[in-house]
Chain A
């Protein structure tokens, strides 16, 4: 079993929710998630943000659902860090 430990995502989102609320909701979509956000560009109605998510076992489906439900769209997966379980317990 391979575990996703870190993701860096390029996301286009509306101004509302703001970055703090957006990341808080993202972090609430899973357990033990650490979310960092950097605003790359601000447009009239949207903003591009780079989101870095770290955790013991990230669920990409839940992350995607949280992004979609907040009215944002995932443009690209820029960085990925995965590990395979050592003892095969997963």
Chain B
């Protein structure tokens, strides 16, 4: 049975719609929720692997704990990449999704022989791309910031781990493992197998980086 918020969303009572009701409306009329979930994993994995790659590259060039100057360079490079991934995810997903959903709405209007302006399918087609874009942009940014925590707060992490680069690499591998578990929960596969599979990809990538970069 739909909740009262969803009913209100559908019946368009003139009251401000809560975010949860908007998301439900988007889910009822478009495929945006499943697309957003897919984008979260795809771009989140992108972000995590990119951060891991940069950190492994720096670690391979100088395995010891970085001094303050080196840490500034590493943090700047990683933050730059994280922000670029976030901006790229946000803009590319919005542009592609708004075009897709606009086309789908036009097809529905043609089938209905009706202008759907202001109706629930039209509102869902307008909000859907924003939801997908936000997920696609925020996933790599937030996961990257999580991995960068030891570099952003070195004082807090040196108590736990002497080399903040190693701590960041561990967080990166952990984030990728968790993304694998999330994928496993979606597909219904055994969570450990799914997590280990993504972890193997991350370790193999790190190995290739170590082999290909000069020491």
Interface residues of A (CB under 8 A from B): 12, 14, 16-17, 20-22, 24-26, 28-29, 43-46, 65-66, 68-73
Which residue of the partner chain A has the closest CB to B7? A28
| Minimum distance in angstroms from A2 CB to a CB of chain B | 25
Main secondary structure of the interface of A (DSSP, over half): mixed
Chain A residues within an 8 Å CB radius of B112: 12, 14, 45-46, 71-73
Could you say which residues of chain A place their CB within 8 Å of the CB of B2? 20-21, 24
Q: Number of B residues whose C-beta is below 8 Å from A?
A: 23
Q: How many A-B residue pairs have C-beta atoms within 8 angstroms? Tell me.
A: 69
Distance between B60 CB and nearest chain A CB, rounded to angstroms = 51
Q: B108 near A25 (CB under 8 angstroms)?
A: no
Q: In the complex the two chains form, is A16's CB within 8 Å of B7's CB? A: no
Contacts of A72 in B (CB 8 A): 112
- A24 to B7, alpha carbons, bound, how many Å? 7
Say yes or no: is B11 at the interface (Cβ < 8 Å to chain A): yes
A74 to B32, CA, bound (A): 28
B6 within 8 A of A: yes
In the complex, are the beta carbons of B29 and A69 less than 8 A apart? no
Residue contact B29 to A29, C-beta cutoff 8 Å? no
Interface presence of B10 (CB below 8 A): yes
